[in-house]
Amino acid sequence: MKKLIFIFFGLILFFHPLFSQKQRVRNQPYGDYKLYHFGITVGMNFQDVVLTNSGVDTGGETWYATIPDYSPGFSVGMISDLFLNPYMNLRFTPSLSFGDKVFEFVNPSSGEAFKSTVRSNYLMLPVDLKFRSFRLNNYRPYVVAGAYSVLDLSLKKDDPILLKPMDYGLTIGIGSDFYLPFVKIAPEIRFCFGLGNIIEKDRSDLTNYDLIKYTNAITRGVSRMIIFTVNFE
């Protein structure tokens, strides 16, 4: 996560001199006043689940679950933006986020460990408000905040851990618009906070019922995701 934040601010510092106030040309001076416009977004994501362990013995064993590492995934989506006033826009940005999470289970008594990889292809449907600062020649910082719903398109039954197909949550992010002559680009980092329990406890799908001990080891799981994107509008 720290590397992602460093990359984000590195891009801000890289673009800043290119669009500084020393420039005499003000690109797209009326671009922000269009009633609506569209764009695309591409980037990467890091998926996580905040786990609450039950500490329940299953067949004489106690297992504790963690997600020790985060693997980068890929995100792509569309942008639809509605002008509300000079400092606020309403945005709908449906996107697909591909990634995976590695659940690691440890038996503290025996030291035995078990890992299970859960792949998630999320269809995310966020609705946000974009709050923009004053425009400084050819760049303009902003904050976005809103809510989202998500549908997991890649659920695979009979795995040790099964996630629920739907989730919802809140999102907040920061970014900066940079104005080119014909397009506006914006590096953005966004934090998504799921609100529902995404661990499926009904495991009637299991053919190997010995795997139920891993589901029983988790009481609750709440999704988290960090998304770094570059927007083209």
Q: What is the pLDDT of residue 58?
A: 67
* Integer CA distances (angstroms), 58 to 74, 108, 170, 209, in order: 37, 13, 35, 12
Does the pLDDT value for residue 230 go beyond 80? yes
In a domain, 27, yes or no: no
Helix (H, G, I), strand (E, B) or coil at 227: strand
Write the pLDDT tens digit of every residue in 132-143.
998 888 989 999
In a domain, 89, yes or no: yes
Write the pLDDT tens digit of every residue in 163-206.
999 999 999 999 999 999 889 999 999 999 999 999 998 888 88
| Overall average pLDDT of the 30-51 stretch | 93
Write the pLDDT tens digit of every residue in 204-229.
888 888 888 888 889 999 999 999 99
**Number of domains within the chain:** 1
Least confident span in 18-27, 47-56, 219-228: 18-27
Q: What is the pLDDT of residue 24?
A: 64
Q: What is the pLDDT of residue 19?
A: 46
pTM: 0.84
| Helices and strands: H and E segment counts in the chain | 2, 12
Count other Cβ atoms within 10 Å, centred on residue 7. Answer: 14
Q: What is the CA radius of gyration of the chain?
A: 21
In a domain, 32, yes or no: no
In a domain, 6, yes or no: yes
In a domain, 124, yes or no: yes
| Overall average pLDDT of the 69-83 stretch | 93
Provide φ and ψ at 208, rounded to 5°. -105, 95
Q: CA neighbours within 13 Å on the CB side: how many for 10?
A: 7
In DSSP notation, 25-85 reads --SSTTGGG-SEEEEEEEEEEEEEEEEEE---EETTEE-EEE-----EEEEEEEEEEEEEE
Question: Of all residues in the chain, what percent carry a pLDDT higher than 70?
Answer: 88
In a domain, 72, yes or no: yes
Helix (H, G, I), strand (E, B) or coil at 110: coil
Q: What is the pLDDT of residue 1?
A: 53
Q: What is the pLDDT of residue 205?
A: 84
Range of the domain at 88: 2-21+38-232
Residues 117/101, Cβ–Cβ less than 8 Å: yes
| Overall average pLDDT of the 29-43 stretch | 92
Mean pLDDT of all residues belonging to the chain: 87
Residues 43/64, Cβ–Cβ less than 8 Å: no
| Cα torsion 29, 130, 232, 6: sign | positive
Least confident span in 2-11, 18-27, 83-92: 2-11
Token couple for 65: 């679950």
In a domain, 49, yes or no: yes
**C-alpha–C-alpha distance, residues 162 and 147, integer Å:** 24
In a domain, 208, yes or no: yes
User: What is the DSSP secondary structure assignment for residue 209, as one 8-state letter?
Assistant: G
2 strand-pairing partners? none
Residues 191/39, Cβ–Cβ less than 8 Å: no
Write the pLDDT tens digit of every residue in 84-141.
999 999 999 999 999 999 999 998 887 788 898 999 999 999 999 999 998 888 989 9
Does the pLDDT value for residue 22 go beyond 80? no
| Overall average pLDDT of the 65-92 stretch | 94
Task: List the CATH number of the domain containing 78.
Answer: 2.40.160.20
